[in-house]
Amino acid sequence: MKNLPDKYKTKIETIKNIILTTSGILSEYGINSIKFELADFYESENGVEEIVFELTIKDVYCPECAFEVNVVSRTINEIIAKIHKGCRFGLTKELKFKNSFNSTRGILLYETKLWRDDFEYIVFGIFLDPGQEY
């Protein structure tokens, strides 16, 4: 994201790394199958109000997805649960970590492309509200 103030760049990269590593997404799918970008960032005079990330995972193998439709949703929900696990941390409005609460508002499924037994890609939106408690 081009408008990100310099004072937050390192902190945003740290947040991205924490989410990818603690969720297990990085080790399960590998760096070459993941695209993780800052999609939106809103700062007010009180500090950072909202951070939105876009996570794309490519080539997710799902052998039963071609035959069992319920496996498609189960696979997506399993990935969302992993992302939630990686987002269990609190942030202050200055983007300092605080473990006493969770600042993750939610995770949305943006887009997916399934072809036979392979998700060509799955795109998620991750919404963080620093200073908020969920």
What pLDDT, in 10s, does the model give residues 36-68?
A: 999 999 999 999 999 999 999 999 999 888 888
For the chain, the domains span 6-128
Task: Quote the pLDDT of residue 80.
Answer: 97
Of 25 and 1, the one with more pLDDT: 25
* Cα-based angle 87, 9, 92 (whole degrees, multiple of 5): 50
CATH architecture of the domain with range 6-128: 2-Layer Sandwich (3.30)
Task: Quote the pLDDT of residue 93.
Answer: 94
What pLDDT, in 10s, does the model give residues 72-128?
A: 999 999 999 999 999 999 999 999 998 778 999 999 999 999 998 899 999 999 999
What pLDDT, in 10s, does the model give residues 8-32?
A: 999 999 999 999 999 999 999 999 9
**Residues linked to residue 54 through DSSP beta bridges, in sequence order:** 37, 125
Task: Quote the pLDDT of residue 2.
Answer: 62
How far is CA 125 from each of CA 27, 45, 51, 52, 115, rounded to the nearest angstrom?
20, 25, 10, 7, 22
Global pTM?
Answer: 0.93
Q: What is the 3-state secondary structure (H, E, C) of the chain?
A: CCCCCHHHHHHHHHHHHHHHHHHCHHHHHCHHHEEEEEEEEEEECCEEEEEEEEEEEEEEECCCCCCCHHHHHHHHHHHHHHHHHHCCCEECCCCCEECCCCCEEEEEEEEEEEECCEEEEEEEEEEECCCCCC
Task: Quote the pLDDT of residue 1.
Answer: 61
